[in-house]
């Protein structure tokens, strides 16, 4: 029955086509050994080529060496070309600050794709089964997943990774291996309740079967399959919106915030996942709580904030966009300080700015048609010389409603963090006259007692 069920799954989801070249991930355990045996039987029926790839993680010492030996002997007996690679995964995980599970998975898939490219193959077969599906759904539920996580493991991903025995129970697989005398290897670590998945497999599911539903595995998988259809419909719309509101700029992914904010939250979550996948290649180890953290950045009060997600992904809230990148952005602080004449021109190279000044009598000021590119101050209220400089910590300006720190003013004005050091701050001996073209101080305001007016104009170059 298992052979026919696997063939039915292959046909139903169009997993394999005539002429496919398939690289099978072969651990030596019952699942992958069963899948290898079935695909080998299908070679002539489907007109396919099958290759096996085994990674020795160097986690289990002698057992791992015996696994590699078993795999090589099995493949030779079946006439299947095989590849074996040995990597010190614990050391790799330590060097790259990854969990053992995350590091092992990353290196395993890198090897699969490396072999796929060298063989010019087009499919990678993974031996996930029905129990794996149920375990995955439960594990994602405990992490707080959404609909996309509840749909479980896909039968086919990106048209490349296929899972032909996803509808087969582990007990059926073990029976198949026994029937065909395949004698698969048993990973001793799978029998220890030290990892989350193992605890679900060895403790939680047996408890649920005994106390609630003896067919709980099938029930969980049936639920995940029924959710797939709804998820596919929403996913299609999300992908359409993602393409509409995102772009690649200098190798980073940007999402336009105004269009993003108006979308339904279910679409937002998927768009963010597409953004993460675009940068990292997949969304492994990204939980719903991480997605919520990114959505929380959409508010205007979050401009210049950032969050750090797993696997070294940075998400920045910048003016008008969300920026996804693996490179930490370090803003270079520009410092400058120049004296300003009361009649003349000063060029500020650091800020790409020219400042022009002119002193005029009040009558001329009143007769002028004033434009927004210029600032006007009472000359008699200015004490000492005028300096133009970059911002300093603790800077304050006096406004109509009291004093305000420039840091808060920049936030209120939504001036990007990287631009703030270029904003010219003009001050005399008593305080700040103005913050570029953005705000003027109340204490230098032209009024009925003013006799001479200082005009200051800012021009970019």
Do 171 and 249 reside in the same domain of the chain? no
Residue that is last in its domain, among 214, 242, 276:
214
Do the beta carbons of residue 12 and residue 161 sit within 8 Å? no
Between CA 112 and CA 453 the distance in angstroms is 75
Residue 163: predicted pLDDT: 97
Residue 157 domain-assigned (yes or no):
no
Count the Cβ atoms, other than its own, within 10 Å of residue 228.
Answer: 16
Do 346 and 294 reside in the same domain of the chain? no
Kindly provide the b/e burial profile for residues 52-69, where b requires at least 16 CB atoms within 10 angstroms of the residue's own CB.
bbbbbbeeeeeebeebbe
Phi, psi for residue 382 in degrees, rounded to 5: -85, 130
Between CA 365 and CA 195 the distance in angstroms is 77
Residue 145 domain-assigned (yes or no):
no
Mean pLDDT of 155-169: 94
Residue that is last in its domain, among 276, 302, 325:
325
Phi, psi for residue 348 in degrees, rounded to 5: -105, 95
Residue 461: predicted pLDDT: 82
Do 383 and 306 reside in the same domain of the chain? no
Q: Give bridge partners of residue 125 from the DSSP assignment.
A: 24, 162
Residue 154 domain-assigned (yes or no):
no
| Range name among 32-41, 112-121, 414-423 with the lowest pLDDT average | 414-423
Closest CA to 163 of 238, 210, 221, 96: 221
pLDDT tens profile 189-236: 665 555 678 888 889 999 999 999 999 999 999 999 889 888 889 999
Between CA 55 and CA 37 the distance in angstroms is 19
Do 282 and 346 reside in the same domain of the chain? no
Residue 105 domain-assigned (yes or no):
yes
Do 41 and 184 reside in the same domain of the chain? yes
Closest CA to 260 of 276, 246, 274: 246
Closest CA to 324 of 413, 242, 266: 242
Count the Cβ atoms, other than its own, within 10 Å of residue 35.
Answer: 27
Residue that is last in its domain, among 325, 348, 370:
325
Q: What is the CATH number of the domain that holds 250?
A: 3.30.465.60
Kindly provide the b/e burial profile for residues 233-243, where b requires at least 16 CB atoms within 10 angstroms of the residue's own CB.
ebbeebeebbe
Do 245 and 198 reside in the same domain of the chain? no
Q: What is the CATH number of the domain that holds 404?
A: 3.50.40.10
Do 270 and 362 reside in the same domain of the chain? no
pLDDT tens profile 166-194: 999 999 999 999 999 999 988 766 655 55
Between CA 203 and CA 364 the distance in angstroms is 88
Percent of the chain with pLDDT over 90: 61
Give pTM, 2 decimals.
Answer: 0.62
Tally of structural domains, the chain = 3
Residue 427 reports pLDDT greater than 90: yes
Residue 73 domain-assigned (yes or no):
yes
pLDDT tens profile 346-378: 999 888 899 999 999 999 999 888 777 789 999
Structure tokens at 352: 């790409």
Mean pLDDT of 130-142: 91
Residue 332 domain-assigned (yes or no):
no
**DSSP-derived 3-state class of residue 214:** coil
Phi, psi for residue 248 in degrees, rounded to 5: -100, 130
Residue 435: predicted pLDDT: 93
Please state whether beta strands 396-399 and 123-125 pair in parallel, antiparallel, or not at all (unpaired): unpaired
Count the Cβ atoms, other than its own, within 10 Å of residue 213.
Answer: 12
Do 350 and 424 reside in the same domain of the chain? yes
Do 297 and 372 reside in the same domain of the chain? no
Do 274 and 356 reside in the same domain of the chain? no
Mean pLDDT of 384-409: 90
Do 188 and 49 reside in the same domain of the chain? yes
Residue corresponding to tokens 């305001």: 445
Residue 222 domain-assigned (yes or no):
no
Would you call 453 exposed, middle or buried from its count of C-beta atoms within 10 A (0-12, 13-18, 19+)? buried
Between CA 19 and CA 40 the distance in angstroms is 14
**DSSP-derived 3-state class of residue 399:** strand
Half-sphere exposure of 173 (CA within 13 A, CB side): 24
Residue 388 domain-assigned (yes or no):
yes
Range of the domain at 307: 230-325
Do 376 and 403 reside in the same domain of the chain? yes
pLDDT tens profile 294-348: 999 999 888 888 999 999 999 999 889 999 999 888 777 888 999 998 899 999 9
Query: What are the residues whose beta carbons fall under 8 Å from the beta carbon of 78, sequence distance 6 or more?
Result: 36, 37, 40
Percent of the chain with pLDDT over 70: 98
């Amino acid at each position: 029955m298992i052979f026919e069920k696997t063939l039915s799954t292959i046909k139903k989801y169009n997993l394999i086509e005539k002429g496919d070249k398939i690289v099978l991930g072969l651990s030596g355990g019952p699942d992958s050994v069963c899948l290898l045996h079935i695909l080998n039987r299908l070679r002539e029926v489907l007109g396919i080529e099958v290759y096996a790839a085994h990674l020795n993680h160097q986690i289990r010492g002698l057992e791992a060496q015996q696994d590699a030996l078993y795999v090589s002997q099995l493949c030779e007996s079946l006439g299947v070309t095989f590849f074996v690679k040995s990597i010190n995964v614990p050391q790799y995980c330590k060097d790259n600050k990854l969990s053992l599970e995350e590091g092992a998975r990353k290196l395993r898939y890198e090897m699969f794709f490396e072999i796929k490219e060298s063989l010019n193959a087009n499919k990678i077969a993974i031996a996930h089964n029905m129990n794996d599906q149920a375990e995955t759904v439960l594990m994602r539920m405990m992490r707080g997943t959404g609909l996309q996580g509840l749909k479980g493991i896909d039968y086919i991903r990106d048209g490349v990774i296929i899972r032909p025995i996803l509808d087969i129970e582990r007990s059926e697989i073990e029976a198949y291996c026994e029937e065909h005398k395949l004698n698969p290897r048993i990973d001793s670590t799978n029998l220890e309740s030290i990892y989350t998945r193992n605890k679900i497999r060895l403790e939680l599911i047996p408890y649920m079967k005994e106390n609630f539903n003896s067919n709980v595995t099938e029930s969980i998988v049936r639920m995940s399959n029924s959710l797939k259809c709804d998820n596919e419909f929403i996913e299609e719309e999300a992908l359409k919106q993602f393409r509409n509101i995102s772009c690649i700029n200098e190798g980073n992914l940007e999402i336009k915030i105004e269009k993003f904010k108006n979308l339904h939250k279910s679409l937002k979550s998927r768009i963010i996942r597409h953004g993460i996948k675009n940068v990292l290649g997949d969304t492994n180890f990204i939980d719903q709580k991480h997605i919520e953290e990114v959505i929380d950045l959409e508010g205007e009060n979050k401009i210049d904030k950032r969050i750090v997600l797993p696997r070294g992904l940075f998400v920045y809230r910048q003016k008008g966009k969300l920026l996804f990148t693996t490179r930490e952005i370090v803003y270079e602080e520009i410092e400058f300080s120049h004296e300003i004449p009361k009649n003349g021109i000063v060029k500020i190279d650091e800020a790409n700015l020219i400042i022009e000044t002119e002193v005029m009598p009040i009558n001329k000021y009143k007769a002028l048609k004033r434009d927004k590119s210029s600032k006007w101050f009472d000359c008699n209220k200015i004490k000492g010389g005028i300096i133009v400089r970059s911002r300093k910590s603790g800077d304050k300006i006096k406004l109509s409603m009291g004093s305000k720190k420039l840091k808060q003013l920049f936030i209120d004005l939504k001036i990007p963090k990287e631009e703030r050091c270029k904003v010219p701050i003009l001050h005399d001996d008593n305080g700040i006259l103005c913050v570029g073209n953005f705000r003027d101080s109340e204490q230098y305001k032209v009024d009925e007692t003013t006799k001479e007016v200082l005009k200051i104009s800012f021009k970019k170059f």
